[in-house]
A and B are shown apart, each in its own frame.
Chain A
Amino acid sequence: MRLLDPTSERDDTRRERAPRPPGLDGLRIGLLDIGKPRGNVFLDRVAEHLAARGLTVERFRKPTFTKPAPVDLRHEIATKCDVVIEALAD
């Protein structure tokens, strides 16, 4: 019996993760709030801790947690940051 493939027939491309930085010194750090309740509380505390270590951060926020981040926002983060910390859940 022959069947027609119901899937997208895509071949997944495997990509290596970017290398983990050995430390945060000198890196540009982004904090991304996806818009979930109290994500800001979490990120405020993270920012405090980073500031205490002499690091500066830039804050970003998705318009809504239910949709992927807009392309422009992703591009901005990629351009401005070396690492990103994301508040992913409630």
Chain B
Amino acid sequence: MIPDGLVAVVKRACPTCELVAPVLGELDVTVYSQDDPTFPDGLGARDDRDLEVSFALGIDTVPTLLRVEEGEVTGRVEGWDRARWEAFTGTTGLGAGLPEWRPGCGSRTHDPEVVDQRLVAATLGHLRARQVELGAAEDEIEAMYARGWSDGLPLVPPTPERVARMCAGTTRAPGDVVAIVPPDLVECTVEKVAINAVMAGCRPEYLPVVLAALEAACTDEFNIHGLLATTWFSGPLVVVNGPVTRAIGMNSGVNALGPGNRANATIGRALQLVVRNVGGGRPGGVDRATLGNPGKYTFCFAEDEAGSPWESLAAERGVPAGTSAVTLFAGEGVRGVVDQLSRAPESLTRSFAACLRTVGHPKNVFIWDAMLVVSPEHARVFREAGWTKARLRDELHAALQLPAEELVHGAGGIAEGMPEWLCEPGSTLAKFRDGGLLIAHAGGGAGLFSAIIGGWASGAVGSEPVTREVGA
């Protein structure tokens, strides 16, 4: 209970508070000390090291002199200002010998660690996950491995405090259900995503991207269940577009598809850990991949929009400019396309087409989708020739009309291929279905290389790429 009358809030660490300590002795004032109840000496200051009173009074600066009437603050003066203090207290001759004016110091309520502690304390009460108490002699990293929570790499221990901080990365409540996660079809809350995001190494500001990725993954169209279960190589690839990529420092440049960037690395990993731990999808369990691919640890990158000659992948897929979004693609590994000689877009397109033909198998058509990641040096060829992305896609489709005779079972001495009923002699078949070839722009400034990321069973049979806006 804060008494009526004059109230002052001070801290010993503030030189201005030291300065006004004798003045407080001249007044009938209740003093609260934020850091040391023995300060000011002899005034019997009340202990506010837990800052409850300071928060209740909305203190920004120390010293702050307030007037409280019937429990309500009716006036306040911040810092030391003799004229204002005299007017405020109705006293004259205050602080003889002191300077006329000194600014105050910041209230401890604004110390970053204090803000963090309060945020954590406020969130902890909303967390519902079971708490696992480790023994004093237990190594926490080993304990997490032993419980089967890891993808094989070490995890960050999800302490309640870390999870509470992670939950602060979104405006959504910890208990909000984000998605039904296969294969166990479990309702997954923001809190469970946050726990796995902590383990993956995410910072709280990445959480909205992880939430959007999980929502996209758990749609019937994307079909994360089948993608998990398949014997094929593929896993969820997350392409991130929009201002969030810059806000959280994602990499779209040198080594964009590789290691070295925390956001890229941990967002993709967090998604996979949710599928593993919440959904119950584990390699060797429901994940039946014959060989798998290293991208199943994590596969996430930002598109280089600023350096692209084209509209972004998200814009093509209907996301308004200035809005952040994730696009999920059922991607297998990365294969390189080298073409260091083509300076004409027609020639480079034919190179892309020749390599794209091999996705899945050179004799397979419309079974597989693909994503083409065009690097800056290759994109320059199209920019200088004035080719739009739509033009490139059309030309690729034209170059990937494959003669049926080359595709049919047995052609080229290879049993694999398309069935005879589909391969009318003299006809051609398109390598990719409509919407089955995605094009993005990323990579470092040097290297006449682009990347093909093969897909999985395309469309309604398997997986449709899914784009979701990133929320708050």
- Residue ID in chain A nearest B183 by CB atoms: A68
- Chain B residues with Cβ below 8 Å from A67 are 220, 223, 225-226
Q: Does B196 sit at the interface, judged by CB under 8 A?
A: yes
Interface of B is mostly: mixed
- Inter-subunit contact A1/B134 (CB<8 Å): yes
Q: Does B157 sit at the interface, judged by CB under 8 A?
A: yes
Q: Does A4 sit at the interface, judged by CB under 8 A?
A: yes
* Known contacts A66-B462, A68-B225; is-contact A5 B132 (Cβ 8 Å): yes
- Chain A residues with Cβ below 8 Å from B199 are 6
Interface string of A1-12 (1 = CB under 8 A from B): 111111111100
- From 2 to 56 in chain A, residues with beta carbon under 8 angstroms from any chain B beta carbon are 2-10, 35
- Residue ID in chain A nearest B229 by CB atoms: A66
Q: Does B277 sit at the interface, judged by CB under 8 A?
A: yes
Complex partner residue of A2 from B132, B191, B280, CB under 8 angstroms: B132
- From 116 to 147 in chain B, residues with beta carbon under 8 angstroms from any chain A beta carbon are 127, 129-134, 138, 140, 143-144
Report the separation of the CA atoms of residues A64 and B196 in the bound assembly, to the nearest whole angstrom. 31
Q: Does B309 sit at the interface, judged by CB under 8 A?
A: no
Which of these binds chain A: B45-53, B158-166, B249-257, B439-447?
Answer: B158-166
- Residue ID in chain A nearest B181 by CB atoms: A8
Q: How many residues of B contact A (CB 8 A)?
A: 43
- Chain B residues with Cβ below 8 Å from A65 are 226
Q: How many residues of A contact B (CB 8 A)?
A: 16
Report the separation of the CA atoms of residues A5 and B133 in the bound assembly, to the nearest whole angstrom. 10
- Inter-subunit contact B277/A7 (CB<8 Å): yes
- Inter-subunit contact B223/A66 (CB<8 Å): yes
How many residue pairs between the two chains, A and B, have CB atoms under 8 Å in the bound complex?
Answer: 86
Q: Does B176 sit at the interface, judged by CB under 8 A?
A: no
Q: Does B186 sit at the interface, judged by CB under 8 A?
A: yes
Q: Does B195 sit at the interface, judged by CB under 8 A?
A: yes
* Known contacts A10-B186, A64-B462, A66-B462; is-contact A5 B131 (Cβ 8 Å): yes
Q: Does B461 sit at the interface, judged by CB under 8 A?
A: yes
Complex partner residue of B129 from A1, A4, A35, CB under 8 angstroms: A4
- Inter-subunit contact A2/B186 (CB<8 Å): no
- Residue ID in chain A nearest B139 by CB atoms: A1
Interface of A is mostly: loop
- Chain A residues with Cβ below 8 Å from B186 are 8, 10
- Inter-subunit contact A64/B277 (CB<8 Å): no
- Chain A residues with Cβ below 8 Å from B160 are 2, 4
Interface string of B186-198 (1 = CB under 8 A from A): 1010011001100
Complex partner residue of B460 from A3, A7, A64, CB under 8 angstroms: A64
Report B418 CB to chain A, min CB distance, Å: 11
Complex partner residue of A1 from B140, B227, B229, CB under 8 angstroms: B140
- Inter-subunit contact B130/A9 (CB<8 Å): yes
- Inter-subunit contact B140/A6 (CB<8 Å): no
- Inter-subunit contact B461/A5 (CB<8 Å): no
- Inter-subunit contact A5/B184 (CB<8 Å): no
Report A40 CB to chain B, min CB distance, Å: 12
Report the separation of the CA atoms of residues A68 and B140 in the bound assembly, to the nearest whole angstrom. 37
Q: Does B463 sit at the interface, judged by CB under 8 A?
A: yes
- Residue ID in chain A nearest B200 by CB atoms: A6
- Inter-subunit contact B463/A66 (CB<8 Å): yes
- Residue ID in chain A nearest B188 by CB atoms: A8
Task: Pull 9 A–B residue pairs with CB atoms less than 8 Å apart, ordered by A.
Answer: A1-B134, A2-B160, A4-B159, A5-B195, A8-B280, A64-B226, A64-B462, A66-B223, A66-B463
